[in-house]
Amino acid sequence: MSEQHIARAFDRDLEGIQSLVMKMGGMVETAILDAARALESRDDELAARVRQADKAIDALEERINEETARLIALRAPTASDLRTVLSVLKIAASLERVGDYAKNMAKRANVLGQMTAVGGAAGSLRRMSKTVVEMLSHALDAYLQRDAALAEDVRQRDHEVDQMYNALFREFLTHMMEDPRNITACMHLHFIAKNIERMGDHATTIAEQVIYLVTGSVPDESRPKADSVTSIGVKGL
């Protein structure tokens, strides 16, 4: 088999795998938005669909892993091509983790539906979720287009998500201090906010993978980070 034929076969197989990654990304973005909508509208059926959809996201990651392993075994990619192939695995792993956070969000939406609503919290979490979905979508676009500048823009937006999280944390503390009956609901809401903040971290990880793929250099870790409020006893939540 000629080298040119092998290269064409590699490109075709890689394109197929990348299309699966984009499909997975779309499913994860839908899961985030649906989980946020289920929380705000107290829609138990929608929350249940988000939890169920996570199985399909997990199955798609497994298929991507299998197809990638097959590509490596059959096509024996060069060092530069191998870097591209391995980036697919890392991106799929980040997407799977974000899907898990969306599922957890949906689980807590069901619990919160049985409690008195904390004014404005669900709407704030929906806006935070929308920001993360935009980051995720742009990170995946940057991967497809090999656009390091777009990836860097995503990376910088992580600061925005951190600020939203910190503002919500303080808001929840205020609600708990004003009325102890809000404590349980606010703790659930804080877990959701923390999960969304971590989704943003994974979107940033995908963006950093794109920058490495395009430039060959690991991005400087000194991207802006909002001061964390989790040092007041909630580290590790």
Residue 169: partners with Cβ closer than 8 Å, 6 or more residues away: 190, 193, 229, 230, 234
| Domains and their CATH numbers in the chain | 3-215 (1.20.58.220)
Q: What pLDDT is attached to residue 237?
A: 36
In angstroms, the first-to-last Cα distance of the chain is 54
| Mean pLDDT value across residues 71-86 | 86
For residue 143, pLDDT beyond 80: yes
pLDDT confidence of 217, banded at 50, 70, 90?
A: confident
For residue 209, pLDDT beyond 60: yes
The Cα–Cα gap between 58 and 218 comes to 28
The model's pLDDT over 47-65, given as tens digits with 9 standing for 90+, comes to 999 999 999 999 999 999 9
| Secondary structure (H, E, C), 52-116 | HHHHHHHHHHHHHHHHHHHHHHHHCCCHHHHHHHHHHHHHHHHHHHHHHHHHHHHHHHHHHCCCC
The model's pLDDT over 110-122, given as tens digits with 9 standing for 90+, comes to 999 999 999 899 9
224 vs 154, more confident = 154
